[in-house]
Amino acid sequence: MIKKCIGCGIELQGENPNSNGYLPKSVLEGDSKELLCQRCFKIKNYGQYIPIKMTKEDYRAEVKKSLKEADVAIPVFDIIDFEGSFDDEILDILREMESIVVINKLDLIPDDKHPSEVADWVKGRLGEEGIAPLDVAIVSSKNGYGINGIFKKIKHFYPNGAKALVLGVTNVGKSSIINKLIGAKRVTVSKFPGTTLKSVKTEIPFSKITLIDTPGLIPTGRFSDFVCQECNQNIIPANEISRKTYKVQKDRVILIGGMIQMKVLNDDDLKPIFSLYASKGVTFHETNVEKAKELMEKADFITPPCDDCRDEFNSLEKEVEEYTIETGEELVFKGLGWLSVKRGPLKVEITSPKGGEIIIREAFIKPKR
């Protein structure tokens, strides 16, 4: 009988330590039914990351396979990087089947914002994509807020039980939510992308609800994917995100890490007011045009990128584009952060790596002066 890792779902094997799913034969051939592959064991017990041999297409194929047996989709989105977790394939699935949308990381939102406000904003954003979920659950996998609400919503819409497909892009917290729902640290959780390799089925105790945890999809257009693994993790906020408010004159430049160069184009008689939001691992720095290029290429206090990946990042092809953001709108740098305009319009010239997506949306957070 084929045995699978309870942490990541990979088929276990005892032949090749350098291949996915390895476990010593002595353990594999034992009586235990709850086995962890070598990779999951090291992640769980030592926080050690072992690269895997799966492609973006492998992950997507696994999700499609699991989709066939699911009754309802439970997509998980990251409210702090909402656009970065808005994968087109997930949106296509939600247009075709019933869903209960989960919005994670409520604890990281700065300022006082009631969960109902978050839910209303999310419903509006989903409506723009032609998606009308059965319900929206606002949660924090970190402190457990709202987790029981997911169970109640599934039970309400599917009183006789259901197979629920849990899906999302990497690092949105799917596995953490599943562990909270089942009341056990069963599914492997880590800060590294691609931890779940195959679909893992787990039943919520004393219910007829089976959760199907799928591998995190790898989206396109995230600025966080242009830097090394360590920098990538620094961009993902672990605590409340940082905010800095600006009122700057024409031709001043603001650096968002060493990744985005933003030059203000407004005339001198109108100084827009806006706030920048990102992880505390991302540096904000205001300077002049002459100094900006030098700092982007050399300054080690502006991160990311770090010293290890700065040269490679700077070699990426850049593109320059102008944007006008009105009062009450936000300019989102997918996978990195966003700015919200309090008094506009704000006219900017953005220099950024080619392929990184920049989006204008209705403001999620109205910045204060």
With a cut of 50, list the residues of the chain below it in pLDDT: 369
Helix axes 88-96, 56-67, angle to 10 degrees: 10
pLDDT of residue 42: 83
- Burial (CB count <10 Å: 0-12, 13-18, 19+), residue 102: buried
Distance, in Å, from the CA atom of 324 to the CA atom of 286, rounded to the nearest integer, reads 19
Is residue 368 situated within a structural domain? no
CA distance 117 to 64: 33
Q: What is the pLDDT of residues 113-128, one digit of tens each?
A: 789 999 999 999 999 9
Q: Is residue 302 part of a domain?
A: yes
Q: How far apart are CA 148 and CA 189, in angstroms?
A: 19
Whether 58 and 200 map to the same domain: the answer is: yes
- Both tokens assigned to 120: 């209303």
- Please give the structure tokens belonging to residue 77: 């989105």
- Cβ-based burial of 149 (10 A; exposed 0-12, middle 13-18, buried ≥19): middle
Task: Produce one character per residue of 3-32: b if its CB has 16 or more CB atoms within 10 Å, e if not.
Answer: bbbbbbbbebbeeeeeebbbbeeeebeeee
pTM (2 decimals)?
A: 0.83
Q: On the CB side of 246, how many CA atoms lie within 13 Å of its CA?
A: 25
State the total domains in the chain: 3
In sequence order, the β-bridge partners of residue 329 are: 362
- Do 348 and 249 belong to one domain? yes
- Six token digits for residue 20: 């996915």
What does the pLDDT read at residue 92? 92
Helix, strand or coil, per DSSP, at residue 51? coil
The tokens for 194 are: 């691609």
Same domain, 196 and 246: no
Cis peptide leading into 345, omega within 30 of 0? Answer: yes
Which one of 219, 234, 264 terminates a domain? 219
- Tell whether 176 and 63 lie within a shared domain: yes
Note the pLDDT of residue 167.
93
**Chain center to CA of 248:** 31
Q: Quote the Cα angle for 165-169-170, to 5°.
A: 115
**H-helix or E-strand spanning residue 153:** helix 147-157
What does the alpha-carbon distance between residue 187 and residue 95 come to, in Å, rounded to a whole number?
28
Q: Which residue has the tokens 């409210």?
A: 79
Per-residue DSSP letter, 84: G
- Residue 323 shares a structural domain with residue 228: yes
Q: Which residues contact 32 (CB under 8 A, 6 or more apart)?
A: none
Q: Per-residue DSSP letters for 195-231?
A: ---S-EEEEPTTSSEEEEE-PPB--SS-GGGGS-HHH
Residue 180 lies in a domain: yes
Per the domain annotation, does 64 fall within a domain?
yes
The reply to whether 369 falls in a domain is no
Q: Before 17, cis peptide (omega within 30)?
A: no
Question: Which residues constitute the domain of residue 193?
Answer: 54-219
Same domain for 30 and 131: no
- Please report, for the domain that includes residue 195, its CATH number: 3.40.50.300
Rounded alpha-carbon distances, angstroms, from residue 359 to 162, 168, 257, 331: 36, 20, 18, 6
Same domain? 252 vs 310: yes
* Single-letter amino acid code for the residue at 56: K
